[in-house]
Structure 1
Amino acid sequence: MKKILFYAMTAASALLCSCELFELDNYDGPGETIRGAVVDAATGNPVLTDQGSEGIRVRMTELSWGDNVEHNPDFFCRPDGTFQNTKVFKGRYNVRVDGPFIPIVREDERGVPLADESKTLDIDGVADVRFEVQPFLNVEFVGDPMVSNGRITARVRVTRGVSEAEFREKIEPMGGWDDSFLNVTDIQLFISYSSSVGYRARDERWSSKIEYTGSEFGDLLGKPVTIKSNKGQAIPSGRKVFVRAAARINYDTPRGDGTRRWNYSAPVEVLIP
């Protein structure tokens, strides 16, 4: 009888503890919002990007619990260089962005800070933040893309968004400098039925690329380069597609991440006759 009473009391105690645990975990979900934009410091124009992990990465670290904390899950900008997260807990955060531009947080090989243009802010309700950066490249169409027999021909001009001298001045102190970092490695022509056309939203039947080795693209900087859609399959007549051009250099951001991110042109709508 004593054993039965003991087991009954133990079960009741466990049940009570379980209820208390559920009560302690019954917090409101995150409901604060951060909105932001990444723009060219020289022109104020948005830094156009890809929709996905090849685009501009936003990293938030909550500081409310001290300095030795893990960052929140990363998220990414929209193609127009803006971002929004509506599921943030109230608190104090450090926010940084990484993309096809001079890193805003730079350290040398020993971890000694060289520059820190990240933002620290309190998020309570809606918080707005703006990052002014130096894009590696500027990419634009020269004239309108032309269509012939279901194939698109475009002229693309690529210029440096930051001079070679300033790029080296800011990147070399981080260590591991290589002259090849400045090389333009490829131009892409992304085509899709989606207005968010890019690497993540491209139709591989029509999208195409031109690759360059070493510094061979150097003489083409600032000059129109002709690129055509894939010659394999014609784009169906009567359809509307969206076209974007992109180019990148031989430098990954953040350094060591292995992702070389493209700078993009604005999307252009093309009607296939």
Structure 2
Amino acid sequence: MKNFLYNLLLGGTLTFGVASCMEVDNFDAPSECLTGSIIDVTTGQNILADQAEARVRIWEKSYSLNPSPQDIPVKQDGTYNNTKLFAGTYDVVAEGPWWPVDTLRNVPVGGKVTRNFEVTPYLKITDFSAILDGDTLRVEGRLAAPPIPSYNADRGDVMPQIMDVRCFISSIQFCGNANHLDAYYNLEVNKVKKTVINVRKAWSNISDGVEGSDGLTHSKDTYKFAVWAKPGYTFFVRMGARVDDTFQMYNYSDIVKIEVPQ
């Protein structure tokens, strides 16, 4: 009898526990939206980015005094978008290959909220071209640097060291450091020539220090790449260059589509 009563009580406890676990969560799923653009102040247009390389970092301050950061990737078109946030207040900052920008404090998020960031890129790719020459894709361009934003110059900041200049090739419209044909480079090692030029120099050592009519200071040299173009394929090509800052992300040229005849 004791065993019967014990088993009955145990069964009832387990049933209650299972039923408790099966209770419906009555909290609404997050549905607020934070969106915007990263705008290049030198052009007034969205920054030239690679898919999910740069980011907008947010902290939900209404939830905790010391919240963990959440990252919203910046898309290739220079926009960002998150439609699954809880309503509240957030600190928001854009992080990428540009001079640091101020963090927006206590941004109220409810419904759809748009916050744009105006940024000054470290570098720009100028005189960029990608031309098919027989079975060789010839890619070239120069580097240029916008003036340092005044609030950074006042703080005594200088341009970080230039790390490298690179030619990126992709088989899809997304092209850059996060999206390129590593397998193509590796399999055709005897035909694909160097696609990375290591610089490792201060900006003052690769530029003449003279501001051009476009307001930019240009590099002395043109950076050139010659890459085998596989017949019958379509490629998307661009150039990028980066500096040795915290993030080491690339500033990019536009993307050029190249169709190689069979």
TM-score category (smaller protein):
0.7 to 0.9
Aligned partner of 1:222 in structure 2 is 218
- Richer in strand (by share): 2
Aligned partner of 1:133 in structure 2 is 119
Letter in 2 for 1:239: Y
Task: Name which of structure 1's ranges 262-271 and 13-22 shifts more when overlaid on structure 2.
Answer: 13-22
* Alpha-carbon distance, 1:246 to partner: 0.7
Aligned partner of 1:12 in structure 2 is 12
Residue 141 of structure 1 contacts residue 265 of structure 1 at CA under 8 Å; is this kept in 2? no
* CA distance 1:202–1:238, shift in 2 (3 Å): same
2:136 equivalent to 1:154: no
TM-score by length of 2: 0.79
Residue 50 of structure 2 contacts residue 176 of structure 2 at CA under 8 Å; is this kept in 1? yes
Cα RMSD (Å): 2.8
Residue 140 of structure 1 contacts residue 266 of structure 1 at CA under 8 Å; is this kept in 2? no
Task: Name which of structure 1's ranges 216-225 and 122-131 shifts more when overlaid on structure 2.
Answer: 216-225
Aligned partner of 1:176 in structure 2 is none
* Alpha-carbon distance, 1:96 to partner: 1.7
* CA distance 1:37–1:185, shift in 2 (3 Å): same
2:177 equivalent to 1:199: yes
* CA distance 1:164–1:127, shift in 2 (3 Å): closer
* Alpha-carbon distance, 1:39 to partner: 0.9
Residue 165 of structure 2 contacts residue 223 of structure 2 at CA under 8 Å; is this kept in 1? no
* CA distance 1:164–1:77, shift in 2 (3 Å): closer
Letter in 2 for 1:243: V
SS at 1:16 equivalent: helix
* Alpha-carbon distance, 1:7 to partner: 4.4
* Alpha-carbon distance, 1:212 to partner: 1.2
Q: Aligned to 1:94, which of 91, 95, 106? A: 91
Q: How does 1:73-112 map to 2 (within 5 A)?
A: 74-104=71-101
* CA distance 1:164–1:44, shift in 2 (3 Å): closer
- Number of aligned residue pairs: give it: 242
* CA distance 1:145–1:264, shift in 2 (3 Å): same
* Alpha-carbon distance, 1:3 to partner: 5.1
Q: Aligned partners of 1:166, 1:63: CA distance in 2, in Å?
A: 26
Residue 147 of structure 1 contacts residue 153 of structure 1 at CA under 8 Å; is this kept in 2? yes
Structure 2, unaligned runs of 5 or more: 186-191, 210-216
Residue 141 of structure 1 contacts residue 245 of structure 1 at CA under 8 Å; is this kept in 2? no
Letter in 1 for 2:67: V
Letter in 1 for 2:84: K
2:35 equivalent to 1:35: yes
Percentage of matched positions with identical amino acids: 26
Structure 1, unaligned runs of 5 or more: 105-115, 173-178, 254-259
Aligned partner of 1:256 in structure 2 is none
Task: Name which of structure 1's ranges 244-253 and 28-37 shifts more when overlaid on structure 2.
Answer: 28-37
Q: Aligned partners of 2:22, 2:144: CA distance in 1, in Å?
A: 58
Residue 58 of structure 2 contacts residue 69 of structure 2 at CA under 8 Å; is this kept in 1? yes
* Alpha-carbon distance, 1:77 to partner: 0.8
Q: Aligned to 2:56, which of 55, 58, 62? A: 58
* CA distance 1:219–1:164, shift in 2 (3 Å): farther
Residue 187 of structure 1 contacts residue 210 of structure 1 at CA under 8 Å; is this kept in 2? yes
Aligned partner of 2:239 in structure 1 is 245
Q: Aligned partners of 1:62, 1:150: CA distance in 2, in Å?
A: 53
* CA distance 1:167–1:136, shift in 2 (3 Å): farther
Residue 151 of structure 1 contacts residue 228 of structure 1 at CA under 8 Å; is this kept in 2? no
2:142 equivalent to 1:145: no
* Alpha-carbon distance, 1:269 to partner: 1.5
Q: Aligned partners of 1:170, 1:41: CA distance in 2, in Å?
A: 20
User: What are the Cα deviations for residues 234-261 of structure 1, in whole angstroms up to 9, with x where unaligned?
Assistant: 21234321111111112223xxxxxx11
